[in-house]
Chain A
Amino acid sequence: MTHSRRRSLVVGAGLLTSALILSGCSTSGDDSGGGDGGSDDLTPVSLQLQWLPQGQFAGYYAALDQGFFEEEGLDVEIIPSGGDIVPQDALVAGDVDYAIAWVPKALGSIEAGANITDIAQIFQRSGTLQVAWADSGIETVADFEGKRIGSWGFGNEWEIFAAMAAEGLDSTSVEIITQDFNMNAFLEGDIDAAQAMTYNEYAQLLESTDPDTGELYQPEDFSVIDYNEAGGAMLQDAIWADTERLESDEEYQETTVAFLKAVIKGWAYAASDPEAAADITINEGSGWGLTHELWMVNETNKLIWPSDNGIGIIDEEAWNSTVEGALSATNESGASLITEEPPSTAYTNEWIQMAHDELEGDDIDLTGADFEPIEVELTEGGE
């Protein structure tokens, strides 16, 4: 075999060039995000969720299914995440036009340099609970010290530490146990107090069979700490937009208002007809059973409605207390989420207010004054 050095250099250079050409191709087409979609005259828009399609995102899917986005001249693609796609990162990278993320997580990203803005605070309340057994003696946040506290991690743990900081407790005394996708670790006794969302994991508990009685667990079996009451609650699902484009790109500004109008209509639809909204997310492949999905939509509705300032408006007080919590909280290894106040561009009510103004004449209750949650009876396995 002949090993020609010169020829290999030529090949190497050739490989390098073709690699460069290929990577050049791959970065073309930047701001369109969702692709051309094929529909006429509709503006393509992409929205990144923070998890799989489920009742938590019913309003967005309802807006898609009911044609509210189309009415506003938008061709929206909703992109679910399996966990490794971080919505605010996808937004910063320019992969999507808007992203759904919890405020504390986004604050962490903003301090790390992300240039994003909260344009609509969809969830007005926190949906996080900490659940312990009724006979465990854990009744308040003060009982957390020295206990094994469950959390999903990835920024979901900050409410725990904010609540502990507010009470002057030592967060390094708790052992944080990373929770799975289900509540088995809690049911089996590996966790003293597990994190649970009102709309999902808490229902999972009530859908599970108590091996001692053979019946489903009842709310009385648990001691439930609600961070809205215990302190430490932070703002959750919010719509985030690219700050720079929001400032300079007029087309993006128009799209933003249109997008928010459709989202408001979607959530109003979910509030008025939770059964239909649950059907929509099931059809999107949520994979949950009927009763669990309906529970999820109903509990999500409770986090949104009634919305005293109007849906999506960021309440300054709630925002400030989220920032305060994020500043004061230190985790079990002593690290903090953020060290300084976020910039003033971190949130704005400008666009959601415009959307409200444009919807004023329509027959939509923007505050949900008449909102009444339904009663959902859970079944085994949520089916």
Chain B
Amino acid sequence: MTAPSALDAPPAVRPARGRGTSPRANLMRIGLGAAALLGIAVVWELYKWLGPSDGLVIGEARLLPRTSDLAMPHIPDMLTRLFEPVTRADGSPPLWLEVANAAAVTLGIAAVGWLLGLIVGLALSLVMVRWRLAESSLMPWIVLSQTVPLIAFAPVVRSWGSRIEIGAFEWQDWMSVALIASYLAFFPIAIGALRGLQSPTAMHNDLMKSYAAGWWATLIKLRLPASVPYLLPALRLGAANAVVGAIVAEVSTGLRGGIGRMIVQYAGQASGDPAKSWGPIFGAIILGLLAAGSVALIGGGLRNYRRAEVSA
């Protein structure tokens, strides 16, 4: 496969990464995070102040953006816009609330997509680790599946979905979006899980054989625990993919209520109200962080198996 050779080394030989758990180390990490955010804001404003007003264009390609208020609104403008009402209509909620609601909808859909991707990804990896023939016949298709462009795929999913009606169950539009999200999420999970399940060396396997352990016992006692360090980064990648997939699929299928559609809607208003269109973009960023953070919580539950984590 395409993974670097370092991944093939058994995880046990590498020392655990230093993870500060003392309150002081935690404070330090939060402080560093905040400083990085502030740094980005300072760079943004500095560039806006000092950068070339027409940006930098070499040939046809724009390397640096314009510094106008249309292209790069001031940070304080974008932040204060979040606390102003969405429109001037009576009872219009503040922008941040509208963004938060939309983000919650998308997060829910992405979570369903991620779960689906997890189930499919794990199932595929188990089948592939059980039968070598399955690995060599399935793997090309799994890789190929990711080359299908989403914009070609999304309308087909919705079209098929709209015809599904089994008894009382009727396909909802959000399910198409969740399905597309899972389509992006299952790939890193399947690859990561397979690599993890295959990570025990011949020596480990031989030991299990000498205990007369069957395939299932080997799976549960040896392969599954060994796969955790590979699986966790894959789950995180899967979560990020699910969020991106949900946002893109919302745009392409026209699903209402989510952050993807809000980005398109407010982009249409960016000429008259440039700061407004950044609201849902911030929402999408926080959404991604939340998704990755939730996976970190799962990692906490599996702490005993995380002897070393392998970057996926």
A209 to B69, CA, bound (A): 10
> Are A85 and B252 in contact (CB-based, < 8 A)?
yes
**Neighbouring A residues of B133 by C-beta, 8 Å:** 3, 5, 8
Tell me the smallest distance from the CB of B148 to a CB of chain A, in Å.
14
A96 CB, nearest partner CB in chain B, Å? 8
Let me know if A169 is at the binding interface, CB within 8 A.
no
- Beyond A11-B131, A82-B251, is A184–B271 a contact (Cβ under 8 Å)? yes
B269 partner, pick from A82, A95, A182, beta carbons under 8 A = A182
Q: How close is B279's CB to chain A, nearest CB, in angstroms?
A: 12
**Shortest Cβ distance from residue B251 to the other chain A in the assembled complex, whole angstroms:** 5
Binds B, one of A101-109, A261-269, A280-288, A321-329: A280-288
Please state if A52 and B272 are interface contacts (CB–CB under 8 Å).
no
Q: Could you tell me which B residues sit within 8 Å of A by CB distance? A: 66, 68-71, 87-89, 127, 130-134, 137, 151, 154-155, 158-166, 170, 205, 215, 218, 250-257, 260-262, 264-274, 276-277
Name the 5 nearest CB pairs between A and B, nearest first: A82-B254, A381-B273, A207-B272, A84-B252, A287-B265
Once the chains are docked, how many angstroms separate the CA of A204 from the CA of B218?
A: 65
Q: How many residues of A contact B (CB 8 A)?
A: 58
- Flag if A380 contacts B272 (CB, 8 Å): yes
Which residue of A1, A84, A188, A287 is within 8 Å of B154 (Cβ)? A84
Nearest A residue (CB) for B57: A190
Given known pairs A82-B252, A83-B254, the reply for A208 and B272 (CB within 8 Å) is yes
A113 interfacial by beta-carbon distance below 8 Å: no
Q: CB-CB < 8 A to B66: which residues of A?
A: 188
State the CA gap A12–B276 with chains docked (Å).
52
Asked if residues A184 and B70 are in contact (CB atoms below 8 Å), the reply is yes
In the assembled complex, the CB of A140 is this many whole angstroms from the nearest CB of chain B, namely 25
Q: Residue on A with the closest CB to B89?
A: A290
The secondary structure that dominates the A interface is loop
Query: How distant is the Cα of A200 from the Cα of B69 in the complex, in angstroms?
Result: 22
CA distance A288 to B170 in the complex (A): 31
Mark the stretch among A28-36, A65-73, A348-356 that contacts chain B.
A28-36
Residue ranges of A at the interface with B (Cβ–Cβ < 8 Å): 1-5, 7-8, 11-12, 25-30, 33, 35-36, 52-53, 79-86, 89-90, 93, 95, 180-184, 187-188, 200, 204-205, 207-209, 211, 282, 285, 287-290, 292, 379-383
Chain B residues with CB under 8 Å of A205's CB are 271
Question: Interface centre among A11, A85, A183, A381, by most B CB within 10 Å?
Answer: A381
With A3-B131, A184-B70 in contact, do A381 and B272 touch (Cβ < 8 Å)? Answer: yes
Q: State in angstroms the CA–CA spacing of A12 and B274 once bound together.
A: 54
A82-B266 contact given A26-B163, A282-B89, CB 8 Å threshold: no
A287 touches B160 (CB 8 A): no
11 A-B residue pairs with CB within 8 Å: A3-B132, A33-B162, A52-B265, A82-B252, A82-B254, A84-B155, A84-B251, A184-B70, A285-B256, A288-B268, A289-B89
Q: Which of A52, A180, A209, A381 contacts B261 (CB 8 A)?
A: A52
